[in-house]
Amino acid sequence: MRRTRAIHTLLFALGALLPLVPGAVATADEDEDDIVENEPHDDLDDDEESGSPRRRRGRRHDYSHFSDGPRRVPNPRGASQARAESLGLGTRDAASHALRRSPDPRWLRAAEHHGPMPEHLHWPVDLGRFGRGFGFVRRTRPDLRHDGVDVVADEGSVIRAVGPGIVAYSDNGIRGFGNAVVIVHPNGWVSLYAHCYRTTVQPGWRVRAGERIGFVGTTGISRGPHLHFELRRNGRAFDPLHEFEGRPWIAAYRRWRDLRSSGQYEEPTAHVPENTPPERGLARPTRERRAAAEDVGQVAFLRKLIADGAGQDELEEVPGDHFSNLLWPLRGSARIVRRPRGVNLSTEPDTPIRAVADGLVVFTGEGLSGVGKAVGVLHPNGWVTLYGNAESLHVEVGQAVQRGEWIARGGGAGPVHFQLHQGGSEVDPRELFVQVR
């Protein structure tokens, strides 16, 4: 008996010393490209927590029975594509760098475009409920550490950026995460949004806090629709729940519950193909020289176009076909009200806004009195169109747009405001609209 106890004691001591032997334990840093295989994230082993019989396991991180698709990500284009290429964003290596190390200083400078990081984060899914927390959530398997939080929501629920920053990655090449977005924030934090049904931002895109970046899905190693959200600092994940004001997941659950019990809840549909603006592939040349000019993109430049019209040299830089009518700018119907300048189009919140004709984006943002967030487009026939009171903007200065292309969403910040100008004069657009819903 004593001999048996002595043998057990010796084996226990050797087991305790084994992790101290060089090369005995592989770390995540040994394979820089193996992002997810060495990540502790896992959505497969719910049966451990539910009390069901434990299945025989193969090697840890064996994803052979799972697919990260279908791949639904935007095509690179415009100024964002050029920015991503110049900063080295959009690749799997960029995602690895952002998630494992401190972000490149150039990325941090680019992330400051929409201001500093707010004191509190924006809850990423409006009606998202708490699903799984951060840390060692399984008592017997410390290698199954959960490096984020799971936010449960119906497929198609909108995912929003928790803070301003620049998109470092938007694709489905990180094994296990499915369609995923990685955002670098101006304070050096990095946020990850995984298992998306579809992402709606591309690498190089500079996002605002609360801006839509994708839809909740169940791609990658996911057993049901939810968002896996991580927050990292200097390459290390930390619990993000402490960075939100109050407990927004509880408020979201109560709103979701009350809507369902009252019969007012509507299943998300914005993500389905028939409600999704078509992908048009790579845009035509965006005339980088025009986008780089100091005056383009400024409020003063747009005011000059409205007041004086565009010169011939400026129109030569605008790609696209000439049109004699205006495509109805909204998806769906709207009540039209004539204003001293332009028209107001009353519609539902989050309604897609479309370009009425081919042209070049010459302004995005705020600064024009009374129109809130707006997009200004110069067209090759000399038209200048303005789309105001937008909830979110989805184009950038210097980007070529085609007739019918989705450029913004509106309706929640008041009626969408539309103006048409030509040669320095304001034109009533009502008689020119076609395909009015």
Q: Tens digits of per-residue pLDDT, 44-60? A: 444 333 333 444 444 44
Q: Which residues contact 357 (CB under 8 A, 6 or more apart)?
A: 320, 321, 323, 326, 327, 379, 381, 383, 385, 403
**CA angle (152 as vertex; 174, 237 as ends), nearest 5:** 50
CA distances (Å), origin 365, targets 170, 216, 362, 394: 23, 27, 11, 11
Q: Which of 1-10, 122-131, 187-196, 244-253 has the lowest mean pLDDT?
A: 1-10
Residue 413: per-residue pLDDT: 83
| Between 263 and 80, the higher pLDDT residue | 263
Q: Which of 312-326, 371-385, 417-431 has the lowest mean pLDDT?
A: 312-326
Question: Does residue 85 carry a pLDDT above 50?
Answer: yes
| Between 407 and 285, the higher pLDDT residue | 407
Residue 428: per-residue pLDDT: 94
Find the mean pLDDT for residues 138-147.
Answer: 64
Residue 28: per-residue pLDDT: 30
| Between 224 and 180, the higher pLDDT residue | 180
User: Which backbone phi and psi does 321 adopt, to 5 degrees?
Assistant: -90, 160
Task: Name the β-bridge partners of 364.
Answer: 375
Confidence of residue 298 (pLDDT cuts 50, 70, 90): confident
pTM of the shown model: 0.58
Q: Do 196 and 181 form a contact (C-beta atoms < 8 A)? A: yes
Question: Does residue 202 carry a pLDDT above 70?
Answer: yes
Residue 273: per-residue pLDDT: 74
Confidence of residue 6 (pLDDT cuts 50, 70, 90): low
Residue 57: per-residue pLDDT: 43
Confidence of residue 88 (pLDDT cuts 50, 70, 90): very high
CA distances (Å), origin 35, targets 30, 40, 89, 95, 141: 11, 10, 16, 9, 20
Residue 278: per-residue pLDDT: 53
The letter for the amino acid at 177 is F
Find the mean pLDDT for residues 139-157.
Answer: 80
CA distances (Å), origin 156, targets 89, 118, 150, 212: 26, 27, 16, 12
Residue 138: per-residue pLDDT: 57
Domain 288-434 has CATH 2.70.70.10: yes
Determine the Cα–Cα distance for residues 299 and 279; give it in Å rounded to an integer.
29
Question: Does residue 66 carry a pLDDT above 60?
Answer: no
Question: Does residue 104 carry a pLDDT above 90?
Answer: yes
Q: Where are the domains of the chain?
A: 78-275, 288-434
Question: Does residue 8 carry a pLDDT above 80?
Answer: no
- For residue 46, give both structure tokens: 């719910």
- The closest alpha carbon to 405, from 414, 416, 396, 413, belongs to 396
Determine the Cα–Cα distance for residues 358 and 315; give it in Å rounded to an integer.
12
Find the mean pLDDT for residues 115-126.
Answer: 94
Q: Do 387 and 302 form a contact (C-beta atoms < 8 A)? A: no
Confidence of residue 102 (pLDDT cuts 50, 70, 90): very high
**CA angle (391 as vertex; 386, 392 as ends), nearest 5:** 85
Question: Does residue 288 carry a pLDDT above 50?
Answer: no
The overall average pLDDT reported for the chain is 80
The percent of residues above 70 in pLDDT, for the chain, comes to 77
Determine the Cα–Cα distance for residues 41 and 355; give it in Å rounded to an integer.
41
Determine the Cα–Cα distance for residues 183 and 192; give it in Å rounded to an integer.
7
Question: Does residue 207 carry a pLDDT above 60?
Answer: yes
Asked if the domains 78-275 and 288-434 are classified in one and the same CATH topology, the answer is: yes
Q: Tens digits of per-residue pLDDT, 336-381? A: 999 888 999 999 888 999 999 999 999 999 888 888 999 999 999 9
Q: Tens digits of per-residue pLDDT, 216-263? A: 999 988 888 999 999 999 999 999 999 999 999 999 999 999 999 999
SS3 of the chain: the string is: CHHHHHHHHHHHHHHHHHHHCCCCCCCHHHCCCCCCCCCCCCCCCHHHHHCCCCCCCCCCCCCCCCCCCCCCCCCCCHHHHHHHHHHCCCCHHHHHHHHHCCCCHHHHHHHHHHCCCCCCECCCECCCEEEECCECCCCCCHHHCECCEEEECCCCCEEECCCCEEEEEEECCCCCCCEEEEEECCCCEEEEEEEEEEECCCCCCEECCCCEEEEEECCCCCCCCEEEEEEEECCEECCHHHHECCCHHHHHHHHHHHHHHHCCCCCCCCCCHHHCCCCCCCCCCCCHHHHHCCCCCCHHHHHHHHHHCCCHHHHCCCCCCCCCCEECCECCCCEEEECCCCEEEECCCCEEEECCCCEEEEEEECCCCCCCCEEEEECCCCEEEEEECEEEECCCCCCEECCCCEEEEEECCECEEEEEEECCEEECCCCCEECCC
| Between 281 and 77, the higher pLDDT residue | 77
Which class is domain 78-275?
Answer: mainly beta
Determine the Cα–Cα distance for residues 267 and 251; give it in Å rounded to an integer.
19
